[in-house]
Chain A
């Protein structure tokens, strides 16, 4: 028996195999989109509150939304809202209803639908 074989295996702290799993990616996307929405919401509320100073004050800001780059950002926000919505539905279904197969297909479908929602927003807003 050698010393080397009796030595306990050093745990690999950065073992990242699970990070390639679609369910793990979905959980990460859900957190990132949630955080993104949480950062956006106060700004959204501050902009809407400009109406306290009259419609012209709100309009002054809304003019910015006609810029293509702002429309692109808005499309990203819409996609983020849709991906968080669908990710949330996925969680509720998994946690509160009996297990169903085809989870990976549903997850991929949700991600795809979110991209479609963002692109659709961009096409009709431009």
Chain B
């Protein structure tokens, strides 16, 4: 993917994540004000199709966004070769995607 497409992916994923982050922040404040317990978290998410879609989308967008962001920071802050920067960013994005989808499955699947 060329730099322009990566830039658009970065900005597009950011724009799409805005409402998701606002909802996530509301859930964070709500959940922690009651005292965070696994029972409360899982009662909300287990078997919920809506939360499943919400968090899956969130993980997809965050993985892409973070991978492109890390690539930019590596370019600005390190002297790594372009191929090494790309390899690190892609590996990081894929790891985030796999770990994220596994976490969604853990809290959503009944």
- Which A positions have Cβ atoms within 8 angstroms of B? 31, 34-35, 37-38, 41-42, 44-46, 48-52, 55-56, 58-59, 62, 65-66, 74, 78, 81-82, 85, 88-89, 91-92, 95-96, 117, 120-121, 124-125
A35 close to B70 (CB less than 8 A): yes
B25 close to A51 (CB less than 8 A): no
Per the bound structure, the CA–CA distance linking A58 and B77 in Å amounts to 37
Give chain A nearest CB distance to B17 CB in angstroms. 8
Q: A residues within 8 A CB of B38?
A: 51, 55-56, 58-59, 62
B37 close to A46 (CB less than 8 A): no
B14 interface contact, C-beta 8 A: yes
B103 close to A31 (CB less than 8 A): no
B99 close to A59 (CB less than 8 A): no
Per the bound structure, the CA–CA distance linking A65 and B41 in Å amounts to 14
Q: Which residue of A lies closest to B77 (CB)?
A: A31
Give chain A's interface secondary structure class: helix
28 A-B pairs with CB atoms under 8 Å apart are A31-B72, A34-B69, A34-B73, A35-B69, A35-B73, A37-B66, A38-B70, A38-B96, A41-B66, A41-B100, A42-B95, A48-B103, A49-B102, A50-B106, A51-B38, A51-B106, A52-B105, A58-B41, A59-B37, A62-B36, A81-B25, A82-B25, A88-B18, A89-B18, A91-B11, A92-B11, A95-B11, A124-B29
Give chain A nearest CB distance to B88 CB in angstroms. 11
Per the bound structure, the CA–CA distance linking A102 and B73 in Å amounts to 27
B73 close to A55 (CB less than 8 A): no
Q: A residues within 8 A CB of B103?
A: 44-46, 48-49
